Copies of this chain bind each other. A is one copy, B any other.
Amino acid sequence: MSSIVQIRLVQMEVLPGRPRENTAKILSAVESAKKDGVGLLVFPEMAIPGYLLGDEWERGAFLRECEACGEKVKDASIGLTVMFGNVGLDWQRKNEDGRVRKYNALFVAESGRFVGPEGGPYPFVIKTLMPNYREFDDSRHFYDTRKLSAELGRNLADLIAPVPTASGRIGAVLCEDSWDMDYAVSPLQVLGGKGVDFVVNASCSPFTFNKNNKRNRVFAAAARRLQRPLVYVNNVGIQNNGKTVFTFDGASCIYDGQGNPVETLAPFAEGVMDFALPVGGTGAVAVPSVVREDDTAVLYEAIRYGTEKFMKACGVERVVVGASGGIDSAVVAAIYSRILPPDRLLLVNMPSRFNSPTTINLARELAKNLGCGYIEIPIEDSVKLTRAQVDGVEARWPDGVKRLALTDFLLENVQARDRSSRVLAAVAASFGGVFTCNANKSEMTVGYTTLYGDLGGWLANLADLWKGEVYAIGRHLNDKVLGRAVIPEGSFAIVPSAELSSAQAVDEGKGDPLIYPYHDCLFRAWVEDWNRVTPEEILEWYLEDTLESHIGYPGKVKELFPTPRQFIADLERWWNHYQGLGIAKRIQAPPVLAVKRRAYGFDHRESQMGPRYTSRYEDLKRRVL
């Protein structure tokens, strides 16, 4: 009973919101496939419209264009079966927001016609499971089969069925449909019960660190359960939801009917995979050994790729980096040096009297190593002018005058704003480009940044990395990517410091108030852990003496904070920043390039409510003190 289908997976770059461009690419791939005798050609989910489009889905003109594009692909499907994702429209029905009915749909076209699931109401496959977590808003835009079954008074299982095609009975699903662990219904199980030759999962699945490992476990188990091969097609490129920018790594893959991944496309690159798919059997083949990539290499590649693609999407061709001599700006500059020719990259060092020759020299050395442009623009005169114009100046009220006072502490922020909003913005404009935001996730978490200062910039491409991960990326750049010490050793060696006051003198070993090796772990538990914890859990673990293992800190917390009072003061200090001004600052921060779980912005949604503590925390605190 077993036969062979010549299948081709197209891991294409999907341009969000550009149906015509995407369709042109699809049509060209269809023509090539015809010439090559392909039987089944598979494109990703939402290959025509793109997926993360904000509220673009509300625009009728856009939807009509997507529909017309889908018709063109249908018309071209002569002599082969073509599967592609698009928005499925029913102009006679409404979504729950009162606008036109939209489905996240997988279209199957052959012989110039659409073929829908057996017994289904539409000539397309509807996504059943709607992700509404992290960056996803599916239920905001799309109606699903579960709602449809209620509306039509039909069993949900009636609406999930194989698509009968010339290439076999296909179990066709979309992305989340195969991630069914936490849902009351499993589309794959329903399809398995009805008999399918193989499964196709078309996805538009953003890259997240470690997600592919989980996907391999979940999808392999599904193939094994069904005893059928599973074809996974994902797109590449970049899409964003305003505050958060997501890369797509593709990594399209075929699993055989025993769940072995038999072939995978290279990540972060367009590609095509041809495969002779055994149909009607389990399709067991030899298992290639899976090479586990270095974690830092994966993160680096996602950041480099995302930065490059986002530059292209935004039309950015020249970049200015405020180079302090520290590790963050050095890593940012080195990443851009892998994307831009050196004549389009300009480093600016902006010393004040608090900047040590050590760091200025490190910035110079970095620029020299990169071969890019370099300039020094001191901010001392401007800071003096601001001080003169504000400090001690009299504001007039009807009943008298009041004198303003600009303290040394406030002058720290004056310096940071002067650098970004005055100097870097003007230099970037003169240079015909943008300036970067070099903030990392540790700083962003507790708002250890100045609004309109170092928190300014066109994109924060390190802002999903803890400080320790920034160092690791720096090492990786020198050791593996650039092959030499482009980032000066001194930038790794000096104490991290903002150099905004004499209390932050790097040559005296003074710097940031953060103990990064510990605080990175603490903040990760607050922000990235699956069950995001609060001071209540932290204090509980501290009392149980299990804090280090819970948050993965390799040292001893009691060595950092000899007394409970010190421990709690530190905990509350940073929690207050994270939940207080930190949020206010993140609201006005640049877009964050997401590479892990819970990037700030749209993946980690926040409300300004001020820092709060539970009763139980306060009980525990009383117990500790």
Contacts and interface: CB of A to CB of B under 8 A. Distances in A.
B398 A371 contact: yes
A390 B18 contact: no
A264 interface: no
A55 B314 contact: no
B452 A314 contact: no
Contacts of A146: 146-147, 150
Interface in A13-57: 16-18, 20, 50, 52-56
A493 interface: no
A404 B411 CA distance: 28
Interface residues of A, number: 124
Interface string A306-337: 00000001110000000000000000000000
A90 interface: no
Contact of A452 (B95, B182, B420): B420
Contact of A133 (B97, B346, B609): B97
Contacts of A395: 346, 373-375, 431
A498 to B, nearest CB: 17
A447 to B, nearest CB: 14
A182 B430 contact: no
A189 interface: no
B456 A242 contact: no
A50 B612 CA distance: 14
Interface in A128-178: 129-133, 137, 139-140, 146-147, 150-151, 156
Contacts of A393: 375, 377
Given A61-B614, A313-B610, A184 B605 contact: no
Contact of A591 (B385, B418, B587): B587
A402 B185 CA distance: 63
Interface string A564-606: 0000000000000000000110111111000000000000111
B147 A137 contact: no
A607 B430 contact: no
A373 B402 contact: yes
A340 interface: no
A412 B386 CA distance: 19
A423 interface: yes
A425 interface: yes
Nearest to A95: B182
Interface in A522-576: 530-534, 536-537
A583 B97 CA distance: 24
A194 interface: no
A96 interface: yes
Interface stretch (A62-70, A216-224, A276-284, A500-508): A62-70
Residue of A242, A410, A456, A591 with highest tally of chain B CB at under 10 A: A242
Interface in A171-229: 181-185
Nearest to A389: B377
Contact of A242 (B372, B420, B608): B608
A536 B147 CA distance: 32
A129 B131 CA distance: 18
A61 B372 contact: no
B132 A139 contact: yes
B426 A390 contact: yes
A17 B184 CA distance: 30
Give how many copies assemble into the complex. 2
Interface string A96-138: 1111000000000000000000000000000001111100010
Given A61-B536, A422-B421, A616-B61, A607 B452 contact: no
A86 to B, nearest CB: 15
Given A147-B146, A421-B421, A426 B386 contact: yes
A616 to B, nearest CB: 7
A480 interface: no
Interface string A450-466: 01110010100000000
A429 interface: yes
A476 B302 CA distance: 53
A471 interface: no
A52 to B, nearest CB: 6
A200 B250 CA distance: 50
A59 B377 contact: no
B406 A430 contact: yes
A126 B15 CA distance: 40
A274 interface: no
A239 interface: yes
Contact of A615 (B65, B131, B147, B373): B65
Given A182-B95, A615-B68, A616-B61, A243 B55 contact: no
Given A97-B132, A243-B587, 15 more contacts: A17-B610, A60-B537, A61-B533, A96-B129, A97-B133, A130-B139, A137-B140, A137-B605, A240-B608, A243-B243, A382-B422, A391-B430, A404-B431, A406-B426, A425-B451
18 contacts: A50-B609, A53-B607, A55-B532, A59-B532, A61-B537, A64-B614, A68-B615, A96-B129, A97-B133, A132-B137, A137-B137, A242-B606, A242-B607, A313-B610, A375-B396, A385-B385, A395-B431, A421-B453
| A-B CB proximity, top 5 nearest | A421-B421, A151-B184, A97-B133, A17-B609, A404-B430
